[in-house]
Structures are given as C-alpha cells and as structure tokens.
Amino acid sequence: MCGIIACKTHSPSAAYLLTGLRRLEYRGYDSVGIAVRTAGGDVVRMRTIHRIDALERAVDDWDGAAFGGVGIGHTRWATHGQATEVNAHPHVDCTGRISVVHNGVIENAEALRRDLASSGHRFATGVDSEVICHLVEQRLALTEDLLAAVKGAVVALEGPWAIAVLEESTGRLVVAASRSPLVVAHTNVGEFAASDITALADWVDEFQVLEDGDVVELTGVNGWHDPDKTVVTPALARFIWRAGDSGRMGHADFMSKEIEEQSECVARVLDEVGDRISTGALWSDLGLQCFDRVRVVGCGTSLNAGHVIGNVVRLLGGLPVTSTVASEAGGSVFEPGTLMLAISQSGETADVLNAIVDDAAGGSPLLALVNNPHSTLARRADAVMTCSAGPEIGVAATKTFTCQIVAGVAVMISALVAAGRLSRTAADTLVDDLRRLPDRLAGAGSVAECIVPALADELVDASGFVFIARGVGLPYAAEGALKLKELSYRWAEHYPAGELKHGPLALITRGTPVVVVDDGSPKLATNVSEVRARGGLIVSVGPLGSSIPVVDGPAAPWGPIESVIPLQILARSLAIALGHDVDKPRNLAKSVTVE
C-alpha cells in the first residue's frame, strides 16, 4: 500500500527518493510522485500513473534549475479517488507553498474539506490527503513556523496517518504520524524519513520509530526537541536487514528467490531459538504468564500459519484454541487465562491492529509474531517473537509463512514445557524433528522444481482448482489455494476432504484439478476415490507415490510443512504461464494498512 520517503541529503535528493521508492515498490502501488526543492528555491512536482522508471525518466529529462537536497516521495495505492496523475501525491495547498505526502486514511476528510472550502481554500482533488495541505496552510497564516503549523494542523485529523510536509520557501521538512508507521534516520548522507525501513536500506544502520502523535522536523539529532513540553526521544533501533537482502540476487523474480530461501531461513530461525525450546526458556524469556487457552488472530497467509500453530497447541498441550480472521475478531467472548497470539509478517495490518484493541480491553496478554520487530504490532504487544525471515518483497507471502510456523511452533512447544504440560524429553524429540526441516524443505524444493512447472503447463487452461486435505494438512491446502488464486487469478477453494460430499463435490467434473495435500490419512484416500469417480484430475502432494512426492518422514503435529513448497511453485508457474507479474499480483498490496 502507500509508501512515504522524505529526505534532506547533502547531494541532490532525487536520486535518494527514487532509490527509496523502488524499495517501496513491493508494497504495491498505482501511481508515484515526488516533490523536490531546486537550488533556486522552487519546489518541482513530478507524478505519474506509470512505473517508477517513468518518474526516473522525467527526473533525467528535467532541464530547469538544479535539484537540491530536500524532497519527498510517495507510492500511492488508491483508496479515495481513482489512480490518476492528479490524485497522485505529493499534494499541495492553494499557493503551492506546502507539499504533502500522506499514508493512511483521514476519516473526517469530508467535514474538514467543507470547513476549509467555506473559508476560501480551493481543492484540486477529491483525495482525503489534500485536506492536510490546506490545514497546514491555514495554520501558517497564524504562525510562520512550519513545525508549529504542522503540530496545529494534525490535531484536526481523525484516523490513521503518517505525513511528510515540505515547505517551499524555507526547505524545511516536517514529518508526523499517528497509528501509521513512520521512521526517521540520521545518516552520514543526510536525514531521512520513511514509512517502511526497507526504503532506507541502502543508507541506514540505526533509526527511530515515531510514536503516535510525534511531530518531528528533519534537522538531525534534535528532531524531537519541543520548547513547549518534555518529549521522550524514542530509542535508536538497529536495522537488521542488509541492503542485499532486498535484492533479487540473480533470480527471475523475488518470489522465486523467497521460495528458494525457505530452507535457509528456517535454519536461521532454529539457530536463533533451537537451544531454548525444550528448556522452556524461549517462553519464559518473553515474560508472559502461562495460559489455559489460545486465541489466534491474523489474515490471509499469516492466519494459515496460525492454524498450524493452533493445531500444535491443541495436539501437544490439549488446550483449546480459536483462530479468527482478524477483520471478524470484534465481539469475541473473552475467557480468563487466554493468550492472544497476533500473527502478521508486516506487523502493520490494520485488521490485526484493530483486533488487538478489542482484546486489550478484554485483558488478554498479547504475543505478537511478526517479521518486522519494529512494526506497530510489535510495539503494541506485551511480548514479541520475530520470525526472522528477512525482507519479503514478493507480495505473495512465502518464506514468512514457513518461518512464522517454525517460530510459532517453537515458542508454543517452549510454553507447554514451561507450564509442565509437555515433558522436556518429548520436547527434545520435537526439536530434533524441527531441526530436520531445513533439509526436508530443500529436498521438497528440488523435487518440486523438476515436476511442477511441466504440470502447471498442463493445467494452464483450467478455470478453477479445488484443494483438499484433512486434519493437520488442512492449513497447507488453504495456503495452496490462497497462493494460487492471488497469483493466477483463477478461482481456487480449499475444503476439508470429508466436506466435499456435503456440497463442493458438485464442482468436480471431468478434468477439474483437485490438489490433495496428503498427510497419509486413510480417510483421505476414500475422499480422493470419490473425486476420481467423478473424473476429477488428482494432483497429490505427499509421500512417495504421490504426483509430487515431497513429504519425507513421519507425520508431525505441525503437519506436512514441506508440501507448501510445491504449492507455492505451482501458483508461481501458473502465473508465469499466464503472463502475470508474480511479485505484484493485481489489486493486492504487501502491507495492508486499511480496513
């Protein structure tokens, strides 16, 4: 979704802005723009509904006054108003003196617009963000100080927002945020702000995260100084991802790189936590109480990972678990002794952030399982477990899924040991099984690469797909169907195999592809026969003898995790055969910051 970058650099800012915007591309966008101050003191605005390459060409072709070191940039994912150039950020006030980029939603934009229009402000667009420019303009009529004007203006805003405001006459740059992520960094090439730390990966080692309501001028180390009140300066956080982590590293696309990396990433997770699982220390170091039940919330792939983790708690600990789509979590009944487990790779998903507000009211301790330890979810949680997948650029989640499962399973096994619900010996055996996963995932990747692309060519004309599984295999069927629909744009539904005969079997005709995640259950074989009898085309992912034989080893409480690799490769191969962009599937965004 939308991304912000702002900078005050020692050399022309446009190059930094373009690099940062490219790093934000993965979030998904439909227009992009920058506003850059020239050496002559004017602000030049360039916007396009095309890709960042088009913006770069416009910058290269610019033959006006030389660009200076101050600028702001934005990738927009349209929510209010169509994806047109005029609606693209940065937006400006009536005079063009103030340029603003904005992430989030101004919920009271219409009321503000009416007030501002009635006091003479002229609007160029229907975009909610434009009201911010006019609010700052209005405040600047009362004070000459941009920082004070922005502080005054943001008081009127309702909803989640992060903004960067550039003043033409002075070149001052002020950023602010509330319930929407924004980080600032002081580096040896200049000052930066961005909605996503990966935008700054090339220059930043340490950064600070704005707290809700912070308004900061990019002036260097004194950014948080406020003459009117005592302000707590946020601690410096270290950037844990290297710039190279967010490159394609010779792969055709990020998705193929991220699928391949899974074995290495899982090995890294286990290196980090493996020794502390069966002692119970991984759990006790988090400082949370033991629990009697678990409530999992998440969306999409993260929720699928949550189902796997929930199965482990249920099967090994005998504890009740509910797993809820975060956007539907409102109105849940709270029970004492509940651990709330919120799972989100980005840690910025609005639905998840809303779901935890309700639970905080219910009093459940909150454990966040995130890939970004500096995210809003991580900051709001009572304890944080990182899944350590490294930056995931492809919009479709792949390596974060497997890492979430392994990190989540590890912490839950540890919790069960700490609570005396699982013996240390049993946990040791489980940890040994977990330690075999990197090899099993790598093996599954090799087998799948040989078989799946040719299979995808055969299936390219299928209009839809059914995925089935039973028990611990079910979350993987769900994940396979989700990947396939988001990348190939074909319908794909998953069902518990036993449920087919209660309705979905009507979908099966001659040649309908039915992907079976085979965990070896004998009942599954019966369900497969029912599909075959109706002419369905079975593609099984499971042990030796399956169409894609990748599952090697005994059934584990976390199910056949290696089966997800061929399912990811199937979705990618189909999408490529259909000519789709696998890293940026249509209509989707990486970090879903709207409800």
Residues that bind ligand F6R (CB under 6 A): 299-302, 344-346, 349, 352, 396-397, 482, 486, 592
φ, ψ (nearest 5 deg) of residue 478: -60, -45
DSSP class of residue 484? H
Residue pair 392/248 in contact by the 8 Å Cβ criterion: no
| Cα radius of gyration rounded to whole Å, the chain | 25
Cis upstream peptide for 453 (omega within 30°): no
Q: Is 151 a catalytic residue?
A: no
Residue pair 204/185 in contact by the 8 Å Cβ criterion: yes
- DSSP helix, strand, coil percent of the chain (3-state; round to 5): 40, 20, 40
Please, which residue, 138 or 488, has the CB nearer to ligand F6R? 488
CB of 4 to ligand F6R, least distance (A): 18
Please, which residue, 208 or 371, has the CB nearer to ligand F6R? 371
Q: Is 133 a catalytic residue?
A: no
Residue pair 299/355 in contact by the 8 Å Cβ criterion: no
Please, which residue, 137 or 258, has the CB nearer to ligand F6R? 258
Please, which residue, 299 or 448, has the CB nearer to ligand F6R? 299
As a whole number of angstroms, the distance between CA 217 and CA 232 comes to 15
DSSP class of residue 147? H
User: Is 354 exposed, middle or buried (CB count within 10 Å of its CB: 0-12, 13-18, 19+)?
Assistant: middle
CB of 302 to ligand F6R, least distance (A): 4
- DSSP for 386-401? E-------SSS-SHHH
CB of 344 to ligand F6R, least distance (A): 3
Q: Tell me the HSE value of 73 on the side-chain side, using a 13 A CA sphere.
A: 31
- Residues 6 or more apart whose CB falls under 8 angstroms from that of 252 comprise none
As a whole number of angstroms, the distance between CA 565 and CA 582 comes to 15
Please, which residue, 396 or 528, has the CB nearer to ligand F6R? 396
Q: How many residues does the chain have?
A: 595
Active-site residue identified among 151, 399, 584, 590:
590
CB of 309 to ligand F6R, least distance (A): 14
As a whole number of angstroms, the distance between CA 485 and CA 504 comes to 17
- DSSP for 52-92? HHHHHHHHHH--SSPEEEEEEEEEE--SSS-S-TTTSSPEE
Please, which residue, 129 or 301, has the CB nearer to ligand F6R? 301
Residue pair 21/78 in contact by the 8 Å Cβ criterion: no
C-beta nearest to ligand F6R: residue = 300
CB of 579 to ligand F6R, least distance (A): 20
Per-residue tokens: 483: 């990947």
CB of 564 to ligand F6R, least distance (A): 11
Active-site residue identified among 2, 133, 265, 299:
2
- DSSP for 541-579? EESTTSSEE---S---TT--GGGHHHHHHHHHHHHHHTT
As a whole number of angstroms, the distance between CA 88 and CA 101 comes to 9
Handedness of CA 120, 124, 125, 127 (dihedral sign): negative
Closest CA to 97 of 134, 65, 67: 134
Please, which residue, 162 or 508, has the CB nearer to ligand F6R? 162
Please, which residue, 431 or 592, has the CB nearer to ligand F6R? 592
CB of 192 to ligand F6R, least distance (A): 23
Please, which residue, 109 or 482, has the CB nearer to ligand F6R? 482
As a whole number of angstroms, the distance between CA 165 and CA 174 comes to 5
As a whole number of angstroms, the distance between CA 27 and CA 246 comes to 13
Residues carrying an active site annotation: 2, 590
